[in-house]
């Protein structure tokens, strides 16, 4: 977390970038009480549950649980890494970046390496673009004309041309790049026959892959004539490119988000589907680049829109493999709808044959994920055959059991009744009697006076929150008197104790330097920072109750340990010594 930068520089950077001002540039905030509130930019919501603590210089969403400091916010909202977030904030504060004070030479080398690879990829993109306009790329130009891609769209996506195997590596070497860096960029590879450097996309039409920060990180290439090779080829994974973490055209999505014109995102499979839809006016489109959607891609999409339309080709059998990717989107809190396309057609085909209105009709007919799963099951069985119809009913009931509301279950059961001729009552009984896979539930908000097995955990959270956020009754409280079992609790406690020992004030935002902002336990503690949880005589009494409860728990654990030790001890003198300690602790326990 910024080990390569001077801590003093990071401290000044944060102090010169007030979190309220920074967030307010992206999300309208309104002051209520001691905090600022707005709609969360990371999960989209109708009511404001995103809170910015001006004193502590941290944010926390009570809806989705995200939290962090000003660097974390920029990193997430701009979809960039730590160093790029620092650059954005330094530019905003007009602060020059210091010389990198990396802890190790290796870290400095990695930073230099990454910059070199991005420079190589940028120069390669320009090289391909110049090729396309050189008068030597007739086949590439003809392909573009055949696919009816307009000149403005060609420029928008930075399409280019690879003409041969040798000219790209020669060009990059002439620019002074090392052979190893050229290879590590993924743009060039080594020939198996003679170990010469060759263009990895030789002879193909080039689609630069640009990340959300505007960097070219990879290339896709399309062959121009029939061949035994795959039609499309992606750059292999490199230091700057992991396909599972990128979405093609996400850079344009980011611009639409900033302009306030983005309502939802359409996800397609490939480059040409993206370009075809974009040209037809559906500019809110990205591609998963031929792979099933991943958790990282889902999180990336979620940063920009809450509604996602999946628009893969019309081959339902082929779409069965995409269901897991759709469930990943759903599990990330995204409203997923599936766009039905005519059998055998992809989005590009629909645009070519039926135009913008034809695709709009498909989009309007988009179905919720659970309906899509039902449709996939229906098309997997021959309902005219008794055995297959029964198998379909069993499979469909498993899908219906996943529905989150009774009304949706009822609607789907009625549809299943109409499809199979089985009575609604029978289907309902089978559904109710079927074993249901337990769904994961969100951790409930802490209940201050709850007893039971979670009592110790909740007490630890409340004590830490009271001390960290400056409750009067917890001022200068010595956390050494409390045993924390949870590693996150221990980390926060050690930070507090170290600051107290040096007589330094506590900074809540500093927690994000030592604890991962995605850590669920941190979110539980931050939930207590807002509202009345830490205020008033009730909170003060509860704090002392928590301290006593943990002290009792500490003694109980020690008594249990000593009891086991006493039972196992054969030496009478040692046994008497342990018994005396048990008696002392038992008396101490009664004083609470």
Q: Beta strand 188-190 with 307-310: parallel, antiparallel or unpaired? A: unpaired
Tokens for 174, please give them. Answer: 């002439």
Q: Beta strand 265-268 with 285-287: parallel, antiparallel or unpaired? A: parallel
Alpha helices (H) in 6-51, listed in sequence order: 7-15, 19-24
pLDDT, tens digit (0-9, with 9 covering 90-100), for 564-573: 888 888 888 8
Provide CATH 3.90.580.10 ranges for the chain. Answer: 7-92
Provide CATH 1.10.860 ranges for the chain. Answer: 455-590
Q: Are 199 and 235 in contact (CB under 8 A)?
A: no
Q: Which residue has 């920009």 as its token pair?
A: 304
Nearest to 531 by CA among 469, 458, 454, 488: 469
The pTM (predicted TM-score) of the whole model is 0.61
CATH architecture of 455-590: Orthogonal Bundle (1.10)
How far, in Å, are 45, 80, 521 from residue 35 at the CA level? 19, 27, 22
Among 43-52, 279-288, 300-309, 522-531, the range of highest mean pLDDT: 279-288
Q: Phi, psi at residue 502, to the nearest 5°? A: -90, 0
In this prediction, residue 323 carries a pLDDT of 72
Strand-pair partners of 197: 190
How far, in Å, are 60, 176, 305, 508 from residue 8 at the CA level? 25, 36, 36, 17
> Could you give the CA distance from residue 113 to residue 182 in angstroms, rounded to a whole number?
11
In this prediction, residues 321-336 reach a mean pLDDT of 76
Residues in the chain: 592
Among 30-44, 200-214, 297-311, the range of highest mean pLDDT: 200-214
In this prediction, residue 25 carries a pLDDT of 85
Q: Which CATH number applies to 250-433: 3.40.1360.10, 3.10.50.40, 3.40.50.2030, 3.40.50.360?
A: 3.40.1360.10
Span 105-241: which CATH code?
3.90.980.10
In this prediction, residues 448-459 reach a mean pLDDT of 59
pLDDT, tens digit (0-9, with 9 covering 90-100), for 365-413: 998 888 988 888 888 888 999 999 999 999 999 989 988 789 999 999 9
In this prediction, residues 199-204 reach a mean pLDDT of 95
Nearest to 392 by CA among 423, 429, 366, 417: 417
How far, in Å, are 72, 87, 212, 354 from residue 77 at the CA level? 9, 14, 10, 37
Q: Are 62 and 51 in contact (CB under 8 A)?
A: yes
Q: How confident is the model at residue 560 (pLDDT cuts 50, 70, 90)?
A: confident
Helix (H, G, I), strand (E, B) or coil at 193: coil
% of the chain exceeding 90 in pLDDT: 33
SS in 3 state form for 256-318?
HHHHCCCCCEEEECCHHHHHHHHHCCCCCEEECCCCCCCHHHHHHHHCCCCEEEECCCCCHHH
SS in 3 state form for 161-183?
ECCCCCHHHHHHHHCCCCHHHHH
Provide CATH 3.40.1360.10 ranges for the chain. Answer: 250-433
In this prediction, residue 418 carries a pLDDT of 93
User: How many other C-beta atoms are found inside a 10 Å radius of the C-beta of residue 135?
Assistant: 8
Superfamily covering domain 7-92: Zinc finger, CHC2-typedomain (3.90.580.10)
- DSSP states of 515-577 as a string? S-TT-HHHHHHHGGGSTTTT-HHHHHHHHHHHHHHHHHHHHHHHHHHHHHHHHH---HHHHHH
Q: How confident is the model at residue 315 (pLDDT cuts 50, 70, 90)?
A: low
207 Cβ partners below 8 Å, 6+ apart? 157, 159, 219, 220, 221, 222, 248, 271
Residue burial 532-563, b: 16+ Cβ < 10 Å; e: rest? ebbeeeebbebbeebbebbbebbeeebbeebe
Among the ranges given (21-30, 308-317, 344-353, 401-410), the one the predictor scored with the smallest mean pLDDT: 308-317
In this prediction, residue 442 carries a pLDDT of 34
Among the ranges given (29-38, 44-53, 354-363, 400-409), the one the predictor scored with the smallest mean pLDDT: 44-53
> Could you give the CA distance from residue 202 to residue 155 in angstroms, rounded to a whole number?
21
Q: Which residue has 């170990």 as its token pair?
A: 195
In this prediction, residues 500-521 reach a mean pLDDT of 76
> Could you give the CA distance from residue 309 to residue 368 in angstroms, rounded to a whole number?
9
173 Cβ partners below 8 Å, 6+ apart? 179, 182, 197
In this prediction, residue 170 carries a pLDDT of 96
In this prediction, residue 321 carries a pLDDT of 53
Q: In what order do the strands lie in the sheet with 367-368?
A: 285-287, 265-268, 307-310, 335-338, 367-368
Tokens for 274, please give them. Answer: 């993206």
Q: Phi, psi at residue 585, to the nearest 5°? A: -65, -35
What is the distance of C-alpha 33 from the center of its chain?
Answer: 31
In this prediction, residues 132-141 reach a mean pLDDT of 95
Torsion from C-alpha of 274, 280, 281, 287, nearest 10 degrees: -10
In this prediction, residues 303-322 reach a mean pLDDT of 74
In this prediction, residue 373 carries a pLDDT of 86
pLDDT, tens digit (0-9, with 9 covering 90-100), for 234-264: 999 998 898 888 999 999 998 888 788 889 9
Q: Are 69 and 13 in contact (CB under 8 A)?
A: no
> Could you give the CA distance from residue 497 to residue 259 in angstroms, rounded to a whole number?
46
Among 111-120, 128-137, 211-220, 581-590, the range of highest mean pLDDT: 128-137
In this prediction, residue 531 carries a pLDDT of 58
Look over the chain and give the mean of its residue pLDDT values, rounded to a whole number.
84
Q: Which one is predicted more confidently, 490 or 271?
A: 271
In this prediction, residue 539 carries a pLDDT of 82
Q: How confident is the model at residue 532 (pLDDT cuts 50, 70, 90)?
A: low
Q: Which residue has 């021959």 as its token pair?
A: 382
In this prediction, residue 276 carries a pLDDT of 96
Q: Is 442 exposed, middle or buried (0-12, 13-18, 19+ CB in 10 A)?
A: exposed
Whether pLDDT at 452 is above 60: no
Whether pLDDT at 219 is above 60: yes
DSSP strands (E only) in 339-489: 367-368
Q: Beta strand 205-210 with 197-199: parallel, antiparallel or unpaired? A: unpaired
Query: Which DSSP helix (H) or strand (E) runs through 428?
Result: helix 424-433
In this prediction, residue 329 carries a pLDDT of 82
Whether pLDDT at 444 is above 70: no
In this prediction, residues 202-212 reach a mean pLDDT of 94
> Could you give the CA distance from residue 255 to residue 516 in angstroms, rounded to a whole number?
28
In this prediction, residues 497-519 reach a mean pLDDT of 77
User: How many other C-beta atoms are found inside a 10 Å radius of the C-beta of residue 584?
Assistant: 10
Nearest to 120 by CA among 22, 224, 39, 235: 235
């Amino acid at each position: 977390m910024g080990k390569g930068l001077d801590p003093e520089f990071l401290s000044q950077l944060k102090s010169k970038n007030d979190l309220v001002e920074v967030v307010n540039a992206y999300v309208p905030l309104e002051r209520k009480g001691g905090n600022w509130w707005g709609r969360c930019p990371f999960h989209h919501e109708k009511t404001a549950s995103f809170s910015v603590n001006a004193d502590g210089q941290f944010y926390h969403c009570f809806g989705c649980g995200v939290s962090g400091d000003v660097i974390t916010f920029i990193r997430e909202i701009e979809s960039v890494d730590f160093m790029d977030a620092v650059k954005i904030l330094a530019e905003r504060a007009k602060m020059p970046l210091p010389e990198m004070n990396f802890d190790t030479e290796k870290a400095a080398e990695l930073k230099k390496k990454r910059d070199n690879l991005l420079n190589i990829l940028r120069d390669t993109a320009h090289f391909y673009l110049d090729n396309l306009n050189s008068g030597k790329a007739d086949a590439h130009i003809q392909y573009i004309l055949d696919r009816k891609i307009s000149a403005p769209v060609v420029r928008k996506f930075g399409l280019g041309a690879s003409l041969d195997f040798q000219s790209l590596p020669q060009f990059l070497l002439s620019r002074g790049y090392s052979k190893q860096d050229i290879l590590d960029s993924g743009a060039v590879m080594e020939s198996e026959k003679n170990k010469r450097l060759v263009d990895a996309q030789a002879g193909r039409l080039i689609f630069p892959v640009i990340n959300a920060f505007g960097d070219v990180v990879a290339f896709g290439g399309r062959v121009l004539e029939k061949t035994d090779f795959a039609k499309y080829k992606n750059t292999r994974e490199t230091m700057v490119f992991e396909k599972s973490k990128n979405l093609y055209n996400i850079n344009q999505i980011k611009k639409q988000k900033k302009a306030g014109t983005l309502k939802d995102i359409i996800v397609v499979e490939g480059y040409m589907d993206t370009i075809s839809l974009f040209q037809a006016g559906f500019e809110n489109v990205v591609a998963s680049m031929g792979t099933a959607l991943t958790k990282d891609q889902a999180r990336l999409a979620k940063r920009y829109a809450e509604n996602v339309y999946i628009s893969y080709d019309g081959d339902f059998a082929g779409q069965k493999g995409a269901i897991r990717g759709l469930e990943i989107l759903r599990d990330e809190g995204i409203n997923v709808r599936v766009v039905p396309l005519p059998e055998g057609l992809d989005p590009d085909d629909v645009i070519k044959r039926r135009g913008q209105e034809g695709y709009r009709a498909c989009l309007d007919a988009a179905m919720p994920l659970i309906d899509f799963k039902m449709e996939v099951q229906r098309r997997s069985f021959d309902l005219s055959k008794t055995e297959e119809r029964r198998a379909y009913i069993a499979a469909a009931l498993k899908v219906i059991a996943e529905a989150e509301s009774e009304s949706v279950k009822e609607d789907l059961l009625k549809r299943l009744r109409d499809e199979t001729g089985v009575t609604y009552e029978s289907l309902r009984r089978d559904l109710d009697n079927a074993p249901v896979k337990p769904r994961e539930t969100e951790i409930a908000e802490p209940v201050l006076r709850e007893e039971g097995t979670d009592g110790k955990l909740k007490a630890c959270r409340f004590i830490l929150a009271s001390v960290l956020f400056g409750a009067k009754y917890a001022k200068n409280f010595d956390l050494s008197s409390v045993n924390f079992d949870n590693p996150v609790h221990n980390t926060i406690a050690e930070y507090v104790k170290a600051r107290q020992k040096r007589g330094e004030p506590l900074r809540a935002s500093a927690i994000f330097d030592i604890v991962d902002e995605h850590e669920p336990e941190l979110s539980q503690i931050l939930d207590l920072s807002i509202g009345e949880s830490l205020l008033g005589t009730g909170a003060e009494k509860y704090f002392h109750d928590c301290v006593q409860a943990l002290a009792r728990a500490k003694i109980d654990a020690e008594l249990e340990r000593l009891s086991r030790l006493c039972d196992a001890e054969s030496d009478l003198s040692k046994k008497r010594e342990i018994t005396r300690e048990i008696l002392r602790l038992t008396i101490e326990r009664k004083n609470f």
